Amino acid sequence: MNHRAIARFHAALSNEVRVRIVALICARKEMCVCELVDELGLSQANVSRHVGILRDAGILQDRKIGTWVLLRVDEALLREQFGSLLDEIHAGHVASVHMDAEQRLTERCGRALCA
Amino acid sequence: MNHRAIARFHAALSNEVRVRIVALICARKEMCVCELVDELGLSQANVSRHVGILRDAGILQDRKIGTWVLLRVDEALLREQFGSLLDEIHAGHVASVHMDAEQRLTERCGRALCA
DNA sequence: TCGATGTATCGACTTTAGTCGATGTTATAT
DNA sequence: ATATAACATCGACTAAAGTCGATACATCGA
């Protein structure tokens, strides 16, 4: 996962409506779009769009039953995604770049820091 | 942390520039804004704004050394924040709302599902 | 086949986020 | 005091996200 992909994942959960959708589906195990429309009081078009964003981000899975699309959250996968985000951010901790910040900045200025 | 706060936290990491800033600072332990400007090739005003967003979200801490603002990431805190986000999303898993989705939707329609 | 229901997409609009140059602020060095 | 350097904020502009009504698509029941 590169930085752009990390940003995209977080972007999926950066909207209050989408967080509520995820929380609702976690609580109910499975929900269809029309139930979400009732719960959230938003237009069906809007809810469908948010669901699509969460689906694209891999946060929601679904199965079709008749005309319904039953949505669910793979919680284990979600935990795994969160974990790998942290690992990615924390990668690159090699000693070579760990020069002390004050030392580095003093060199940058070509002078000592008087403060 | 309510749903709005969760969304705000994720929004802080929903931008590629900000993810790069966090990764850079993690790798270097501490960086000032002017170093970030050099690394990212963006205007100082822009970087300062992104830094402010990360600071407001509690992801960046800082200390002043002369005119420099040295930024750092509290990685343990960040891990804790991620953990509590998941806990919050997964809260509310009480048996009462776990009625089977097909059963619930069938009742909603007042008819049985034939599919 | 036809109508009804659930979902997805389109078009248009409003709101919010991102970007930069210019300017303000604070701390330091001369 | 004044100049300089780092950072923050402002104003204006552009780009992207969110929202809704209307409409298209798909599936089922009659």
> How high is the pLDDT of residue B50?
98
**Which residues have C-beta within 8 Å of that of residue B31, sequence separation ≥ 6?**
A101, B24, B25, B70, B71
Q: What is the pLDDT of residue A87?
A: 79
pLDDT digits (tens, 9 = 90+) for A3-53: 988 999 999 999 999 999 999 999 999 999 999 999 999 999 999 999 999
**Is B114 within the bounds of a domain?**
no
| Residue B98 domain flag | yes
> For residue B57, what is the domain's CATH number?
1.10.10.10
Is A115 part of any domain? no
Average pLDDT over residues A67-92: 83
Instruction: Using the predicted structure, report yes or no on whether residue A91 has a pLDDT greater than 80.
Output: no
Any domain includes B86:
yes
The reply to whether B66 Cβ lies less than 7 angstroms from strand C is yes
pLDDT given at position A93 = 61
- Scanning B6-65 for CB atoms below 8 A from A yields 6-8, 10-16, 18-20, 22-23, 26-32, 35, 65
> What's the total number of domains in chain A?
1
| Strand A68-73, strand B60-65: pairing | unpaired
State residue A115's pLDDT score.
Answer: 46
Q: Is residue B115 part of a domain?
A: no
Domain that holds residue A94: 3-109
Contact B76/A at CB under 8 A: no
Quote the percentage of chain A above a pLDDT of 70. Answer: 84
**Amino acid whose CA is nearest the C1' of D26:** A67
B46 nearest nt, CA–C1'? C19
Question: Alpha-carbon distance A19 to A72, whole Å?
Answer: 13
Mean pLDDT confidence for A92-108:
67
pLDDT < 70: residue spans in chain B: 89, 91-99, 109-115
Q: Is residue A114 included in any domain, yes or no?
A: no
